[in-house]
Chain A
Amino acid sequence: MVAEINSKNKHFEKSNSSYVFNEVKKMLDSGESRSLWRRIESEMYSGGVGAVETYLRSSFEELVQQIKESANRFTESLAE
């Protein structure tokens, strides 16, 4: 992706994905968002936008499952 940037054209050197992603990285100073962004970038490099979505969905799903299981366990313990 970075290789695809038109380095010869200075007019658009600040208007491509890599530049935008770098700028986002600079803006995200806190540990949590920076860490997530790094992961998103890594997924982008390895599998594109689809891989990012898959990763994020799975992260959300994992937490959602965790909550559901925890809530279920708790509900079962209430019934005892």
Chain B
Amino acid sequence: MPKARFRLQSVTIEGFRGFTEPQRINFDVKHIFLFGENGCGKSSIVEAIRWCLFGLAERPETEVRNAYYTPGECMVDMELLATEGIWHIERRLRPGAERSRSTITNPNGEEMLQSQVFPYLARMGPKEGTHVIFAAQQASGRRPQADISDFHKVLYSYLHLEEVPDLLERLSKLLEEQLSVRDELASTIDNIEEQIREKLNDVEVSLKELLRNPPWGEGSPPTLVETSDKIINFTKEIAKIADSSIDLDLSAKEVLENAEQLSEKLAKTSREVFDKKLTDLKDKAFALENLLQIIRQAEKRQIEMRQSIKQLEEQIEVTLDGKSIEQFEAKLNLLAQQLKESNSRLLIAKEAEEFCRKFPEYCPVCMAEYTGDELIKKIERTISLATPQQKELTEEIDRLNESYRIAIELSNRINNSRIELQQIQIELNDAFSKTRLLLEVSEGLPLDQEIISKHLAVIKGSVQTCEIALKSKEAKHEEWKKHIDEFRRELRFHKYRERQDRLQRQLTTGLEPTHNSLKELLSLENTLRTIKENLEQKFNEAIDNALPKLNDMFTEVYRRLTGQISFENVQIIRTKGSGGSALEFRVGSEKIQGQLFNPVDVLNGQAISALHLVPYFVFSQFQAEALELDLLLIDDPSQSFDTSHVELLLQELANACSHAQLIIATHEKERFGPSVGKYFPMNDYKIFKFKEFDLKKGPSFYAQ
């Protein structure tokens, strides 16, 4: 048998599981037996070695730390003896840390990588430890590291096939992931294509709408060059009118914008000019109409006023009997004088009458004695004559006074009318002055209502002419606007066409690189799937090829180890697993042909425990190559074994240890102890006995 490169020389343990202060166990012989009661710390040594090699990948590493050990350090250091000297593997879980760190140092103290020094161990990983077997201590709640449920992994490892299921599992996972990634990508590309189709549809709808009333009229659509030429010529025409120029380096769209700006500018200017002219003319016409109205009214009033004065004068003449007012006043004064005289005489007569009646014997004038009767009679006659005259005179004066009053009133009205007539004349003169000024007619030239009316007609004619001209200009601008709109629609047509072509191109060729890459991705996926299927097929063939012989070998070792008579045949069956095939143990019997059973359903504890150990014993028979570390760790291998089977087990272990280094922990020292010497040379092994366990000090043991 080939010899392993390294041999375990010692283990130093600190703060790991039951251990507290650092303790060193020297393996100065090849094989170690650890005897002690359950819970005394022997399993901690087996586990410490395993942890040092593999760590604890699937559970929190903090659970290996001894919580009672106050420094908090957790460390296992293994000394490995090699031809070149002592190597160290140290694994340390620092206080407070959650993951441990392993360091490997060569005899020169240089740090090395595990994959360089222990490639086989590195590849095996913590679970597929074919040379590290834990087969007991179910009661502690810890799961065995190489049990039947992981059997296929153990077996693949023995067969050096472990890479294939691992690869298959990873390929399956990768392909599955890839499928969803590809679906997502395909959906993204579909969405993009859908977006383009929607855009294309929008453009086609716009084109259809535009072509329903094509801006170029009937006939085939113009080319872009033709449209551009039309736009340039049109713009040149406008530019010429606007006394401007166009930049021919601009795009058709920009030239059209220039045309629109020029057209709007021309329209605005033209509108402003005509608006001003029209406003002036309309203002002038309005002012002239007002003046003409004033003149007409003034002249009419003038005539009316003159007629009224004439009538008033005629009334005065009638009222004063054809006399003038002065003559009438003289006559009135004369009559008034006459009335005054008459009144005086009447007054005297009345006084004289009164006197005479009082003094009839005296003359009222000379006081001579006079017979009054006669005088009184005369006086009475005078009075009687004087009163009617006076009455007549008074009436005459009243009548004349009334006529005079009327004449004066009429005369006043005439005077007022004359003043008003003068005022009208002033207004008239003012209106004529303004009219002359408005019409620019000099003072020397005649101007009357008729002439003014003619002028007004001429101005109104100009307003009409101006309005017609403005309408014509605006019509022209409207025509330009229409052309601009048509050109713009033509340009839009070309833009839609160009966009339609581009989108169709994008739809057919634009996504080609993406599709090609997707095809490439699919091709890679299919190629990998083909590889995976072929690998799976060949892997199954390899397993199927190995199984008949393996079954024989397993059955042979199993029978030797257990002496089974009821379910004496071991069969490995291939089932479907995540990485391809999985392998499971079944047991059968010659007595029940054609039927296989799950070991846990039909075997007792001893037989199941033995079954755990079978793969190692089988493969140790033909392990060809030298391993780095051929270490067989077994914790309570004889659980459920009776004494006779412990002997068989020791016999198998002795066979295996021809090349392997054994470290076996058991609480059955009574059954193991007496037989160890039978199968192992005295100098090849050492027994450590565990005395007691102290929470603070850890396990106590001594070498026997």
Interface residues of A (CB under 8 A from B): 1, 3-9, 11-12, 14-21, 23-24, 27-28, 32-33, 36-37, 40, 44, 48-49, 52-53, 56-57, 59-60, 63-64, 66-68, 70-71, 74-75, 77-78
> When the two chains form their complex, are residues A12 and B546 in contact, meaning their CB atoms are under 8 A apart?
yes
* B420 at interface, CB cutoff 8 A: no
With A7-B624, A71-B514: A33-B542 Cβ-Cβ less than 8 Å: no
* Distance in angstroms between the alpha carbons of A48 and B539 in the assembled complex: 17
List B contacts of A59 (CB < 8 A): 524
B225 to A: closest C-beta gap in Å:
24
* B416 at interface, CB cutoff 8 A: no
> When the two chains form their complex, are residues A23 and B538 in contact, meaning their CB atoms are under 8 A apart?
yes
Q: Is the interface of A mostly helix, strand, loop or mixed?
A: helix
> When the two chains form their complex, are residues A28 and B531 in contact, meaning their CB atoms are under 8 A apart?
yes
With A28-B530, A28-B534: A16-B160 Cβ-Cβ less than 8 Å: yes
* Distance in angstroms between the alpha carbons of A77 and B503 in the assembled complex: 11
List A contacts of B166 (CB < 8 A): 49
List A contacts of B539 (CB < 8 A): 20
> When the two chains form their complex, are residues B159 and A15 in contact, meaning their CB atoms are under 8 A apart?
yes
> When the two chains form their complex, are residues A60 and B538 in contact, meaning their CB atoms are under 8 A apart?
no
> When the two chains form their complex, are residues A6 and B521 in contact, meaning their CB atoms are under 8 A apart?
no
With A15-B545, A48-B163, A71-B189: A24-B534 Cβ-Cβ less than 8 Å: yes
* B280 at interface, CB cutoff 8 A: no
> When the two chains form their complex, are residues B160 and A71 in contact, meaning their CB atoms are under 8 A apart?
no
> When the two chains form their complex, are residues B192 and A74 in contact, meaning their CB atoms are under 8 A apart?
yes
* Distance in angstroms between the alpha carbons of A15 and B548 in the assembled complex: 12
* Distance in angstroms between the alpha carbons of A18 and B192 in the assembled complex: 47
Chosen A-B contacts, 9 in total, with CB atoms closer than 8 Å, are A4-B160, A8-B622, A15-B543, A16-B159, A17-B162, A19-B542, A53-B174, A64-B185, A66-B520
B144 to A: closest C-beta gap in Å:
25
List A contacts of B537 (CB < 8 A): 27
List B contacts of A78 (CB < 8 A): 192, 195-196, 199, 506
Q: Which residue of B185, B195, B542 contacts A15 across the interface (Cβ within 8 Å)?
A: B542
With A4-B160, A16-B159, A64-B521: A11-B531 Cβ-Cβ less than 8 Å: no
Instruction: Select from chain A the residue with minimum beta-carbon distance to B547.
Output: A15
> When the two chains form their complex, are residues B163 and A56 in contact, meaning their CB atoms are under 8 A apart?
no
* B459 at interface, CB cutoff 8 A: no
B656 to A: closest C-beta gap in Å:
16
> When the two chains form their complex, are residues B545 and A27 in contact, meaning their CB atoms are under 8 A apart?
no
Q: Which residue of B506, B520, B528, B542 contacts A20 across the interface (Cβ within 8 Å)?
A: B542
> When the two chains form their complex, are residues B513 and A70 in contact, meaning their CB atoms are under 8 A apart?
yes
Q: Is the interface of B mostly helix, strand, loop or mixed?
A: helix
Residue interface mask B513-540, A partner, CB < 8 A = 1: 1100110110111011011001101110
Q: Which of B159, B163, B549 has the most CB of A within 10 A?
A: B163
List A contacts of B159 (CB < 8 A): 12, 15-16
Instruction: Select from chain A the residue with minimum beta-carbon distance to B169.
Output: A49
List B contacts of A60 (CB < 8 A): 174, 178, 181, 521, 524-525
List B contacts of A28 (CB < 8 A): 530-531, 534
Residue interface mask B188-200, A partner, CB < 8 A = 1: 1100100110010
> When the two chains form their complex, are residues B160 and A33 in contact, meaning their CB atoms are under 8 A apart?
no
List A contacts of B535 (CB < 8 A): 20, 24
* Distance in angstroms between the alpha carbons of A22 and B525 in the assembled complex: 21
List A contacts of B549 (CB < 8 A): 11-12
* Distance in angstroms between the alpha carbons of A7 and B617 in the assembled complex: 19
List B contacts of A74 (CB < 8 A): 192, 506, 510-511, 514
* B278 at interface, CB cutoff 8 A: no
> When the two chains form their complex, are residues B543 and A24 in contact, meaning their CB atoms are under 8 A apart?
no
New A-B pairs, 7, CB < 8 Å, besides A8-B622, A15-B543: A1-B163, A17-B161, A24-B531, A40-B531, A59-B524, A60-B525, A68-B188
With A60-B181, A70-B513: A9-B174 Cβ-Cβ less than 8 Å: no
* B208 at interface, CB cutoff 8 A: no
* B123 at interface, CB cutoff 8 A: yes
* Distance in angstroms between the alpha carbons of A27 and B181 in the assembled complex: 29
* Distance in angstroms between the alpha carbons of A59 and B195 in the assembled complex: 30
List B contacts of A5 (CB < 8 A): 160, 624
> When the two chains form their complex, are residues A20 and B164 in contact, meaning their CB atoms are under 8 A apart?
yes
Instruction: Select from chain B the residue with minimum beta-carbon distance to A31.
Output: B527
List B contacts of A36 (CB < 8 A): 524, 527-528, 531
Residue interface mask B605-647, A partner, CB < 8 A = 1: 0000000000000000011110000000000000000000000
A15 to B: closest C-beta gap in Å:
4
List A contacts of B524 (CB < 8 A): 36, 59-60, 63
> When the two chains form their complex, are residues A15 and B546 in contact, meaning their CB atoms are under 8 A apart?
yes
* Distance in angstroms between the alpha carbons of A64 and B195 in the assembled complex: 21
4 closest pairs, A vs B, by CB?
Answer: A15-B546, A6-B624, A11-B549, A16-B160
* B211 at interface, CB cutoff 8 A: no
> When the two chains form their complex, are residues B623 and A16 in contact, meaning their CB atoms are under 8 A apart?
no
* Distance in angstroms between the alpha carbons of A14 and B549 in the assembled complex: 12
* B3 at interface, CB cutoff 8 A: no
List A contacts of B167 (CB < 8 A): 40, 44, 49, 52
Q: Which residue of A7, A16, A48, A70 contacts B542 across the interface (Cβ within 8 Å)?
A: A16
B307 to A: closest C-beta gap in Å:
93
> When the two chains form their complex, are residues A75 and B538 in contact, meaning their CB atoms are under 8 A apart?
no
* B541 at interface, CB cutoff 8 A: yes
List B contacts of A15 (CB < 8 A): 159, 161, 542-543, 545-546
A32 to B: closest C-beta gap in Å:
5
* B340 at interface, CB cutoff 8 A: no
